[in-house]
Structure formats: structure tokens, C-alpha cells
């Protein structure tokens, strides 16, 4: 199977509807579980887009938005991966692998030497993906697995 091509681009206010949909549809995989209304989401998105230390990215394949991922620059050569979601239709087809590879390139471009993340241990598909791409479990705290990958 050929690896699909993906592109990561910075999110903008024009992506608001897509981001609200994907955030609510996948809330069970995140550390919050409530449905978010459009006003609260708008305030969150404006704050997220204004952050200087992180980028909320939209994952595209053939100019179609298929997911999101965030890159936070923590300093000291470390970036954090967060808010990684791919629409159900695109799961199990190699898009996750393509996104992780592209994400690693972005982190290297920022001068990062490592990537960290947190995930729920019940999110088995994500856990398998991360382990496959060189992430190691570093700790378990408050129901979350901490993971790290050296670049």
C-alpha cells in the first residue's frame, strides 16, 4: 500500500466549522468529554490561533481537511504533539503514519531534538501508532501516558 500524501497547514478562522465538528466528534479521545458550543469554541479558537509558542494545524490530503494536530514549542529542543485527530473515513489507511512523518519534519525545522505527548491508555490505535514511530512510554500520571520520541 502506498503511503498517502498529507500536508500540514496552520489553521485559521475559516476552519472554525471543521474544527468545531472534529473537536466534538472525537471528544472521547481527549481529556475533556463535554460537547462544546460554537461561542465557547470560537473563544478557544481565537486564543489558540494567537498563541506564539504553538501552532494548531489542519491535516489535508488532496486539498480536503481530514484532521488536526497541534505543535507546541516547549523550549530546550522539545516540541509537544497534541490534538491529533483524523476523521474516521481516513483511519486505518496510512494517513496517521504520513502525518507523524510530516510532523517530525516540522519539529526538526524548529530545531527540536525530541517530541513529547500525552494520551489515554485506552486510545489503543493511537498508542500503537506512536510506538510504531519510535515513541517510548516515559510515565503514567492521572490516567495519562506520557511518551517521548527522540529525533
Q: Are 37 and 20 in contact (CB under 8 A)?
A: no
Mean pLDDT of the chain: 88
Decide which of 52 and 74 is more confident: 74
Q: Are 78 and 114 in contact (CB under 8 A)?
A: yes
Number of structural domains in the chain: 1
Domain that holds residue 76: 7-150
> How far is residue 135's CA from residue 97's CA, in Å, rounded to a whole number?
13
Q: What percent of the chain has pLDDT over 90?
A: 64
Start-end of H helices in the chain: 16-25, 38-50, 95-109, 124-132
Is there a domain that residue 1 lies in?
no
Which CATH number is 32's domain given? 3.40.630.30
When pLDDT is cut at 50, 70 and 90, the band that residue 31 belongs to is very low
pLDDT at residue 23 in the model:
74
Is beta strand 114-119 parallel, antiparallel or unpaired with respect to 78-86?
parallel
- Residue in the block written with cell 490516567: 143
Is there a domain that residue 50 lies in?
yes
Amino acid at each position: 500500500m502506498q503511503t498517502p500524501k498529507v500536508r500540514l497547514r496552520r489553521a485559521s478562522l475559516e476552519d472554525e466549522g471543521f474544527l468545531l465538528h472534529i473537536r466534538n466528534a472525537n471528544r472521547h479521545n481527549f481529556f475533556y468529554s463535554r460537547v462544546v458550543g460554537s461561542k465557547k469554541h470560537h473563544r478557544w479558537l481565537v486564543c489558540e490561533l494567537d498563541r506564539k509558542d504553538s501552532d494548531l494545524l489542519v491535516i489535508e490530503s488532496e486539498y480536503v481537511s481530514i484532521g488536526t494536530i497541534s505543535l507546541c514549542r516547549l523550549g530546550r529542543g522539545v516540541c509537544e504533539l497534541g490534538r491529533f485527530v483524523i476523521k474516521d473515513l481516513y483511519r486505518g489507511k496510512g494517513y496517521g503514519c504520513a502525518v507523524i512523518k510530516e510532523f517530525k519534519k516540522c519539529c526538526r525545522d524548529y530545531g527540536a531534538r525530541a517530541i513529547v505527548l500525552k494520551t489515554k491508555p485506552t486510545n489503543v490505535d493511537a498508542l500503537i501508532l506512536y510506538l510504531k514511530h519510535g515513541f517510548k512510554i516515559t510515565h503514567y500520571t492521572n490516567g495519562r501516558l506520557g511518551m517521548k520520541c527522540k529525533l
